[in-house]
Amino acid sequence: MVFRLIIVMIFFSVGAFAQDNFTKHKISQGENLSIIAKKYGVKVKDINDANPNAPKILKLNSILLIPTKNKEVAKSKNKSEAKAEPKSQAIVNNTSGSHEVLSKETLWGISKKYNVTVDELKKANPLLETEGLKIGQKIVIPSLNSLSDEKPVIQEIASKDVELYREVKAKETKYGISREYGITVAELERQNPSIKGKVPVGYLLKIRVPKEKADAIQATKAIEESQNAAISSPVQIAETAEIKRDSTFVKMATGSHSELIDQLIANATENIGIRYRSGGTTKAGFDCSGLMICTFNNFDIKLPRSSIEQSRIGTKVATEEAQKGDLIFFRTNGRRHINHVGMIVEVVDGEIKFVHSSTHGGVMISSTKEPYYTRAFSQVNRVLE
């Protein structure tokens, strides 16, 4: 009997010792082993050793055992959690209606702090869609706007960096791409943590470079596009809204005008979901002007190669006169000249919907009511008469 009692006491003491040496952590959205390890001041290897049967891809709301260095670590963690300000209190204390972005903060983390969604943050701060978070930037917290009768002013610190997108071509290396953008391979990998070893052909890289460098790269690309367009076929350029019609590029509609437009729209929207590809004019991938060329070419209507050249054909029309089948042009990413084109598929109550090939999502339908395209809008051209 005494022997059994000793065994039971040893069992409970071992269990208590194990609990003292481990902390249970429930996995939240956006967390990975590195983030969790840093949070508890341990190494990733320690977490892996403590959870030998854990899957390589962490599952939301699953439990991990986190080894504690000693009891003091666990105690200090509990104290810090006890002192942590609740979300509701953070909202009450922040009466300015904005939040200053700190180092290593994410949209998801900020949304949790103020009890709002990431989509609400993006809607209240349209520039987040194109420029992302920057240290020191002040963003509007939508839940705080309702606490004040006055509409808060969005305060943003001017960014000296610009994020560009670059598709990897055959036989290209990370070293060559890094040199092209004036950054190191290590910096390229830091900005694109998912690339390991050789970068696959067709992979879309995100590269953040100084604005001056970005302007130079974009200017070079624009020159190359213009040269390619000039080689393929010269375009009549005019300064007035009325463009001289050239049968090479402008289709004088015959038969049912509306039927032709409907067929053009149907043909273009069949490509929704196809990825963006710089210089692409086939279903293997389209760039914006390439999608227009392919669509109109299917009906024996030839268009020039680049978006800026396409903006110089047909007739400019006011936005309130825009119709299905018209081409719509934009100056995106702060560009001084037109660099994006789409085709209008619907006009309802002043809202223009258009099909286009976006660097972010491939072929898709967007709206001029979206803040990004509202700011970037340039003109509408009618190429079918």
Q: Specify whether 371 is located in the same domain as 242.
A: yes
Q: Specify whether 202 is located in the same domain as 291.
A: no
64 is a domain residue: yes
Query: Of the listed 99, 288, 337, 360, which one is catalytic?
Result: 288
Q: Which of 221, 242, 259 is the last residue of a domain?
A: 221
Give the C-alpha separation, 88 to 295, whole Å.
Answer: 53
Say what the pLDDT of residue 339 is. 95
Residue type, 367: S
Give the C-alpha separation, 26 to 61, whole Å.
Answer: 5
DSSP 43-75: -HHHHHHH-TTS-SSPPTT-EEEEE-SSHHHHH
**Looking at residue 302, what DSSP letter applies?**
-
Q: Specify whether 257 is located in the same domain as 133.
A: no
Q: Specify whether 240 is located in the same domain as 376.
A: yes
Closest CA to 145 of 153, 137, 136: 153
* CATH code of the domain covering residue 199: 3.10.350
Q: Specify whether 259 is located in the same domain as 334.
A: yes
Q: Specify whether 253 is located in the same domain as 367.
A: yes
312-321 pLDDT tens trace: 999 999 999 9
Q: Specify whether 306 is located in the same domain as 336.
A: yes
**Domain total in the chain:** 4
331 is a domain residue: yes
40 is a domain residue: yes
Say what the pLDDT of residue 73 is. 45
DSSP H or E stretch at residue 372: helix 371-376
Q: Specify whether 188 is located in the same domain as 299.
A: no
Contact between 118 and 111 (Cβ < 8 Å): yes
Q: Specify whether 210 is located in the same domain as 190.
A: yes
Query: Of the listed 25, 99, 340, 360, which one is catalytic?
Result: 340
162 is a domain residue: no
Contact between 17 and 43 (Cβ < 8 Å): no
9 is a domain residue: no
Say what the pLDDT of residue 320 is. 93
2 is a domain residue: no
> Which portions of the chain are predicted below pLDDT 70?
1-20, 56, 69-96, 143-160, 218-256
Q: Which of 159, 186, 221 is the last residue of a domain?
A: 221
84-98 pLDDT tens trace: 444 444 444 454 478
39 is a domain residue: yes
Q: Specify whether 119 is located in the same domain as 171.
A: no
Ordered alpha helix ranges (H), 43-196: 44-50, 71-83, 87-93, 107-113, 118-124, 128-131, 142-145, 174-180, 185-191
274 is a domain residue: yes
Q: Specify whether 248 is located in the same domain as 360.
A: yes
* CATH code of the domain covering residue 103: 3.10.350.10
b/e map of 308-320 (b: 16 or more CB within 10 Å)?
bbbbbbbbbeeee
Give the C-alpha separation, 98 to 93, whole Å.
Answer: 11
**Residue 324 domain boundaries:** 233-382
- Give catalytic status of residue 294 as yes or no: no
DSSP H or E stretch at residue 227: helix 211-232
Q: Specify whether 264 is located in the same domain as 349.
A: yes
70 half-sphere exposure, CB direction, 13 A CA radius: 1
Contact between 263 and 256 (Cβ < 8 Å): no
Say what the pLDDT of residue 270 is. 94
Instruction: Please tell me whether the overall predicted TM-score, pTM, comes out greater than 0.75 for this model.
Output: no
